Structure 1
Amino acid sequence: MSSPAASAGDEQRRVDRRLFTIRSIATLGGLLFGYDTGVISGALPFLKEPREAGGFGLSAFDESLVTTGLTVGAAFGALIGGRLSDRFGRRRSIMTVAVIFLIGALGCALAPDREVLIVFRFVLGLAVGGASATVPVYLSEMSPVKIRGTMVSRNELMIVTGQLLAYTCNAIIATVWPQARMWRWMLAVATLPAIGLWIGIHLLPESPRWLANRNRGQEMWAVLNEVRMADEVEDEGQDIIRRVEEERAVGRGGWADLRIRWIRRITLIGIGLAFFSQLTGVNGIMYYAPTILISTGLGTRASLVATIANGVVSVVSVYIGITFFLNRLPRRRMILTGQSGCVGSLIVLGLVFLLPESTARSYLVLLFMLSFLFFMQCFIGVTFWLMLSEIFPMRVRGIANGIAVFCNWTGNVIVAFAFPNLIEAVQGTVFFIFAAVNICSLLFYWRFLPETFGHSLESLERRFEKRYS
């Protein structure tokens, strides 16, 4: 007969395995998010080639349209996806997103001209936005309190891993298999994880909190028994049910709830967090890194290979943030530290552009781009998506998170559209502009951002209701 300690150990391993499976499959949405946003950086130099060389002859303005096609789609995908995940469930929403990822990737790879490419980049953006609004919420609602930060932030690790995969595939294809229309193969690679996500999501359960909110209590208890230790199930299940009943007493969640003072205030804070995190300029660097390096005098293929460093530093930084800081430092301190580092890095980047053109200057630009990415990904990247999944009340979590992520992608659109045109017009002065914007963001976070570290989702709702009512 096994001892109680051995039985508890077996049960813990069973729960850990199930949570690992859930995290690994669901975060394929993050991998696709990262790949599809990162791959365009390597495709753009070849899309700028004339038609006879396999490109579309894109101008700087055309580059902006191709890049922002995805970000505009993502803004609307987040808004629609958040609402649909509240109505139809987190699992079904992710399943739909996987299909749209596949359609969008194929459409982009096979596009006959610039206009069709922009249309399918928009379609792909719908999937990216839907994933960014739904996957962190799903992971947050599936996670035990003690590992919620680590579990949700693995999605950010997969996003930057997807970007690294994109940069690496771009460099390999451009170096090993140079040919006209090589950009089509760069874009086509995204079909593989999309198929994996669609197959894998069929193996995962629905969120217990969504099930409780839909009066499917028996299914909720079954899911909790899958993903929690036996001694945790009763307390957590009862707390979820109590919170659902408290919210039901004031009516079913919907757009009208945003008029409630405390919900409106926490939603506005979430919108500010989401919008300002994009105005750091991080995706200007991630989308246009080769363009930035080429503008300093570095060659096209050398710039593509050097851009892999952006992906490596992003992955390592997120890993360091998750492993060493996320479970030790309060969320608010993480954001403020990262924002301060971003401001400093941007100022130095602007100063480096004032140096005479040389190979050394090109690599100094790369160095301080990497410094910026370290602070962004290690401190802000691992915390921002996590906080968005934590702060909104369950009754409007999908809607409010969708609105916040819509604003996040709206900021992304502004950066993606403005960045190449600013680089062309004012060169390195663009980094001084973003430094000034980041100082404003830092002041907003210091004044308004609440702390969420160490609280269950239900206790955070009660705390915010009391604080902001």
Structure 2
Amino acid sequence: MTIISLPGSSGYLDASNNRKISYFSNPYVLGLTFVAGIGGLLFGYDTGVISGALLYIKDDFPEVNQSSFLQETIVSMALVGAMIGAAAGGWINDYFGRKKATLSADVVFLLGSVVMAAAPDPYVLILGRLLVGLGVGVASVTAPVYIAEASPSEIRGGLVSTNVLMITGGQFLSYLVNLAFTEVPGTWRWMLGVAGVPAAIQFVLMLFLPESPRWLYMKRDKSEAATVLAKIYDPYRLEEEIDQLATALEEERLRKQAVSYLDVFRKKEIRLAFFAGAGLQAFQQFTGINTVMYYSPTIVQMAGFKSNQLALLLSLIVALMNAMGTVVGIYLIDHFGRKKLALTSLSGVIVSLILLAVAFFLESSTSGNVGAYGWIAVIGLALYIAFFAPGMGPVPWTVNSEIYPESYRGMCGGMSATVNWISNLIVAQSFLSLAEAVGTGVTFLILAGIAVMAFVFVAVFVPETKGLSFEEMEKIWKEKAWGNGSGKEPLLESRS
């Protein structure tokens, strides 16, 4: 029996059945992906639910209704927690493993959900938001890495993007829950408290799942790693994967030094990889996605739709488009490629943000009643999501799960996710105040300008990683740092 190398990937084709690895090839890998992806669901639910809950929190707490700063703090305190959780999550992942990191995130998130649901005042609510943020931050680092390390390279992009689908699905679920509880006493308490349910479900399911096979092989138990890998690959591919892990482990031993955060900036190839990964994460947020997801009901009301229920219903449609767009991204990311998908996505984002800006400029010149301009704003929101979701939604997380060497993957992934959360915090904490200061139209124009910068950044600094093994990716960064001495540039071009 012969094993034929597939062009454009590090994968293999079994000549006896002529079957290529596909997204649905292995139910075991899909199971790992979806259980780990519940962390993404928590991420999405938490970012989406507050947009609707905030409308009712303002009704219960007059001090919140009277202060844009307090509203922004309730929204963004989860981001402060997520920033801390992501920063610590890289170390937790590398030291304790991906599985224990996930379990710890679930416990903290569940605790935060209970605190939020029982909060007697805005300040206890803010504490609960901080706790769920800590859980979300750890999960945002852990889920993509866990999935990537258990995925064949041919379908790694699609599987990691499934985590992003869970994020957008969580946001859609949050809007459904928001609508379901609009007429129930204690409206916002139910909205926020329900978040603990998926955390409890993931905790139980994760107890029955294995640790990441790559982490096991590199850190603890080679035989256990081989057992897990045998459930992912056929015997021919299994031997190849174990050989690659053995080579990577030997290289780590030859380095004979502990990995430190300073190494990320001292070593040129790691610095270049981190710059590309962290830049993608920053631009994902500064192009406004969570401005849309946190404040979409508020934006709809700014456009002239004053009813809370109507604002939530229109926002639900936006969230549904976000989830559907991510499904498209799962297919495209392994067929179209990461870089091309990001550039196409950003082109549409720029046009959509300009449309939103124009709608608000025109709306501000009218009496404020709902008219064509209000509907143009809603269409602009929908178009924004339609372009953002398939590309700039999954691409930053996918690229960051695959561009770093094994010894730096948890650390750089955590640092990059921290950049994402810091950027997220800046946007969430400033959007309402900026809109009040310069106008909503100008605010969206600023975001459009940032999207142009993001397009240039991706075009110049982000390589195509479609189909590359972790080892091939590491060689590409060394080549970018130190020149084309190994003749690896043709490989990069052929994969693009």
Q: TM-score range by the shorter chain?
A: over 0.9
Structure 1 residues 67 and 218, CA gap change in structure 2 (3 angstroms): same
Mapped to 2, the partners of 1:155 and 1:437 lie a distance apart of 26
User: Which residue of 257, 277, 284 maps to 2:284?
Assistant: 277
Q: When you count helix as a share of all residues, which structure comes out higher?
A: 1
Q: Against the structure 1 CA distance between its residues 349 and 236, is the aligned structure 2 distance closer, same or farther, given a 3 Å change threshold?
A: same
For these two proteins, the number of residue pairs brought into alignment is: 459
- 1:188 match: 193
- Kept after mapping to 2: 8 A contact 1:48/1:59: no
CA-CA distance at 1:5 after TM superposition: 10
**What is the distance in 2 between the residues matched to 1:51 and 1:431?**
29
2:312 matched to which residue of 1?
304
Specify the alignment match of 1:464 in structure 2: 477
- Report the counterpart of residue 437 of structure 1 in structure 2: 450
Tell whether 2:395 aligns with 1:378.
no
Correspondence for 2:28 = 18
Contact 1:23 1:151 in 2 (8 A): yes
CA distance in 2, matches of 1:7, 1:102: 46
Q: Does 1:253 align with 2:265?
A: no
Aligned counterpart in structure 1 of residue 409 of structure 2, from 382, 397, 400:
397
Distance in 2 of aligned mates of 1:242 and 1:109: 50
| Two-structure CA RMSD over aligned residues (Å) | 2.1
Instruction: Tell me if structure 2 keeps the 8 A contact 1:77–1:125.
Output: yes
Pair 1:332 & 2:344 matched: no
Deviation at 1:303, TM superposition (A): 0.5
Distance 1:215 1:99, change over 3 A: closer
**Match of 1:119?**
127
1:72 aligns with 2:80: yes
| Cα distance in 1 for residues equivalent to 2:311 and 2:112 | 27
Q: CA 1:192–1:6 in 2, change beyond 3 Å: closer, same or farther? A: farther
* Distance apart, 1:363 and its partner CA: 2.0
Q: Which residue of 1 aligns with 2:94?
A: 86
Match of 2:69 in 1: 61
Q: Tell me which residue corresponds to 1:352.
A: 359
Contact 1:136 1:389 in 2 (8 A): yes
5+ residue gaps, structure 1, are none
Q: In structure 2, what is the Cα distance between the partners aligned to 1:20 and 1:310?
A: 27
Q: SS state of the match for residue 414, structure 2?
A: helix
State the percentage of identical aligned residues: 36
Pair 1:408 & 2:420 matched: yes
State the AA in 1 paired with 2:409.
R
Separation in 2, partners of 1:221, 1:388: 25
- Answering whether residue 49 of structure 2 is matched by residue 39 of structure 1, we say yes
Partner of 1:320 in structure 2? 328
Deviation at 1:253, TM superposition (A): 2.8
1:318 is displaced (CA, Å) by 0.7
Residues 36-87 of structure 1, C-alpha deviation per residue, up to 9 Å, x if partnerless? 11000001111111448xx954521111100110111111111101111001
- Partners of 1:8 and 1:91 in 2: how far apart? 35
Q: Do 2:78 and 2:133's aligned partners in 1 also have CA atoms closer than 8 Å?
A: yes
In the TM superposition, residue 178 of structure 1 has moved relative to its aligned partner by 4.1
Report how far residue 21 of structure 1 moved.
Answer: 1.3
- Residues 326-361 of structure 1 show CA distances to partners (whole Å, capped at 9, x for unaligned) of 222121111111111111110111011122332332
Which residue of the other structure, out of 22, 37, 54, is the alignment partner of 1:27? 37
Which amino acid is the alignment partner of residue 362 of structure 1?
G
Query: Counterpart amino acid of 1:183?
Result: W
Name the CA distance, whole Å, in 1 between partners of 2:391 and 2:61.
43
Q: 1:422, CA displacement in angstroms? A: 2.0
Q: Is 2:116 the counterpart of 1:108?
A: yes
Deviation at 1:423, TM superposition (A): 2.5
Q: Distance in 2 between matches of 1:241 and 1:218?
A: 12
Say which is worse superposed, 65-74 or 352-361, in terms of deviation.
352-361
Structure 1 residues 172 and 6, CA gap change in structure 2 (3 angstroms): farther
Distance 2:468 2:309 in 1: 48
Distance 1:463 1:237 in 2: 21
How far does residue 427 in structure 1 lie from its aligned partner after superposition?
2.4
**Structure 1 runs (4+) greater than 3 angstroms displaced:** 4-9, 11-15, 55-58
Shift of 1:6: 10
Q: Deviations over 1:228-287 (max 9, x none)?
A: 122211101110110121122113433243221211221122111111111011100100
Matched residue, 2:136: 128
Equivalences for residues 227-238 of structure 1 within 5 A: 227-238=232-243
Closer, same or farther: CA 100–239 of 1 in aligned 2, 3 Å: same
Displacement after TM superposition at 1:379 (Å): 1.4
| 2:202 pairs with 1:197 | yes
- Structure 2 unmatched runs, 5+: 1-13, 483-496
Aligned partner of 2:399 in structure 1 is 387
Q: Distance in 2 between matches of 1:446 and 1:8?
A: 36
